[in-house]
Amino acid sequence: MGDGRADPRRQVPRTDALLADPRLAGAATTLGRDRVKAAVRQAQDRARRGEINPEAVRDAALAALPAPAPRAVLNATGVVLHTNLGRAPLSAAAVAALVAAAGHTDVELDLSTGRRARRGRDALAALAAAVPAAGAVHVVNNGAAALVLAATALAAGREIVVSRGELVEIGDGFRLPDLLTSTGARLREVGTTNRTTLADYAAAVGPRTGFVLKVHPSNFQVTGFTSAVPVRQLVTLDVPVVADIGSGLLAPDPLLPDEPDAATTLRAGAALVTASGDKLLGGPQAGLLLGAADLVDQLRRHPLARALRVDKLTLAALAATVVDPATPTRAALHADVGGLRRRTERLRDALAADGCKAEVVPAAAVVGGGGAPGVELDSWALSLPERYAGPLRVGDPPVLGRVVRGRLLLDLRCVPTDADEALRAAVLRVPGHR
């Protein structure tokens, strides 16, 4: 008879020992202990059948578990506000606010009196303080919702006068005309694709006008023989002007001279400004409404506002973002180009020490997220063969770059500095890097 102690099945790790492994224990906190335990037992059975070695049981159990959703990725694309990657990453202050707001909060309660209070008053107060030109502010769940609420409350059954050159298509095939007409408003289009004058607007304004809409074409550019009418001229028509500035820039930024901001637009006379919270503001997904107090109050009290309201997590993250605007988005936009080059060179040298050959090349980063389409940001990137793109994208952590003329470029502009080592390790895990 053979020695039973030599049976490899006896070497299969015990269930309790496997569940104590930090990787599996971590998975249990998000996926549940029962699900992880089932994956462990399946892997143990595979080892007992001789399909895998006993020492491979832990990795097999982990591989059988679904990846966390959503997965954190390293954005090395050079696109600061990458829509497919969730646009603006939140600041440390916003993340801390989210954690604090995860439990019971005073989101709609005045602790000093014990009575009900205005929902999200801290976020609204912070936003109002950041844009003093606004008589009042309100927040809904995204930028499109802000415009829908304005159109429903101010122009349902009436007309919205808008330039043909500003009837844009936004993400995922949604078109502004469809969005607006779904509210029951009628569009009165004026001008042409490339040129619209104040006289065009004046000829269309009448008793049925709900408001004049000014839309910033933030995801494309029209150049050449063009003309558009600024807000300061539109307000002379004596009807409300609603300006959709899109990107959520609250004040001017010298880096983005052609990007409209809320403060300047309101000072020019706009009755209402709508914008997104998860673009240049660098906060959570939200729709911002800033403008005349009576107008904003009318929108806030409209029945649709209840359906579009934001939750306590969004309010907490938004308040923290507005109070402390030192966001990852701002840091990426204003990153020192010389510093980026030196950082990329250090990464190249570290890879070379492990036998991985890479180059440092100049690159052009962009704002992205439907903001500042004509602006390119000088940058530097690590250049690798294109074959690295797929393995890096499905690795742990996933790393996304961009492929240009057969080379994979990894731009560190949007990669946190404390993630450089993780990026280096991810590159070295690609098979055949030597």
Q: Where in the chain is the domain with CATH 3.90.1150.180?
A: 74-86+330-428
| pLDDT greater at residue 113 or residue 221 | 113
Give the residue among 49, 46, 24, 26 at the shortest CA–CA distance from 37: 24
* 30-39, 210-219, 230-239, range with greatest mean pLDDT: 230-239
In the prediction, which pLDDT does 130 show? 96
d(CA 235, CA 291) in angstroms, rounded, equals 14
Q: Where in the chain is the domain with CATH 3.40.640.10?
A: 92-325
In the prediction, which pLDDT does 3 show? 52
Give the residue among 289, 166, 156, 281 at the shortest CA–CA distance from 234: 166
pLDDT of 253 above 80? yes
What would the pLDDT profile of 178-229 be if each residue is shown by its tens digit?
999 999 999 999 999 889 999 999 999 999 999 999 998 866 667 677 789 9
Give the residue among 7, 282, 290 at the shortest CA–CA distance from 146: 290
Strand order in 79-81's β-sheet? 79-81, 359-368, 371-385, 407-411, 402-404
Give the residue among 194, 269, 261, 256 at the shortest CA–CA distance from 228: 194
Rounded to whole angstroms, what are the CA distances from 95 to 314, 320, 327? Answer: 11, 9, 11
Average pLDDT over the chain, rounded to an integer: 92
- CATH no. of 74-86+330-428: 3.90.1150.180
d(CA 335, CA 377) in angstroms, rounded, equals 9
pLDDT of 176 above 80? yes
What would the pLDDT profile of 261-296 be if each residue is shown by its tens digit?
999 999 999 999 999 999 999 999 999 999 999 999
In the prediction, which pLDDT does 5 show? 54
HSE value, Cβ hemisphere, 13 Å, CA-based, for 350: 16
pLDDT of 147 above 60? yes
What would the pLDDT profile of 366-379 be if each residue is shown by its tens digit?
998 767 777 899 99
What is the mean pLDDT of the segment spanning 98-113?
A: 94
In the prediction, which pLDDT does 240 show? 97
What is the mean pLDDT of the segment spanning 420-426?
A: 96
In the prediction, which pLDDT does 7 show? 63
Q: pLDDT exceeding 70 applies to what percent of the chain? A: 95
pLDDT of 4 above 60? no
Q: pLDDT exceeding 90 applies to what percent of the chain? A: 78
Picking from 54-58, 191-195, 246-250, 429-433, which range would have the lowest pLDDT averaged per residue? 429-433
Q: Which CATH class is domain 92-325?
A: alpha beta
In the prediction, which pLDDT does 373 show? 76
Neighbours of 223 (CB within 10 A): 7
The 3-class SS string of the chain reads CCCHHHCHHHHCCCHHHHHCCHHHHHHHHHHCHHHHHHHHHHHHHHHHCCCCCHHHHHHHHHHHCCCCCCCCCEECCCEEECHHHCCCCCCHHHHHHHHHHCCCCCCCEECCCCEECCCCHHHHHHHHHHCCCCCEEEEECCHHHHHHHHHHHHHCCCEEEEEHHHCCECHHHCEHHHHHHCCCCEEEEECCCCECCHHHHHHHCCCCEEEEEEECCCCCCCCCCCECCCHHHHHHHCCCEEEEEECCCCCCCCCCCCCCCHHHHHHCCCCEEEEECCCCCCCCCCEEEEECHHHHHHHHCCHHHHHCCCCHHHHHHHHHHHHCCCCHHHHHHCCCHHHHHHHHHHHHHHHHHCCCCCEEEEEEEEEECCEEEEEEEEEEEEEEEHHHHHHHHCCCCCEECEEECCEEEEEHHHCCHHHHHHHHHHHHCCCCCC
In the prediction, which pLDDT does 219 show? 60
Residue 13: cis peptide before it, omega within 30 degrees of 0: no
In the prediction, which pLDDT does 271 show? 98
Give the residue among 428, 423, 424, 385 at the shortest CA–CA distance from 407: 385
d(CA 161, CA 23) in angstroms, rounded, equals 58
Give the residue among 135, 147, 417 at the shortest CA–CA distance from 297: 135
What would the pLDDT profile of 342-357 be if each residue is shown by its tens digit?
999 999 999 999 999 9
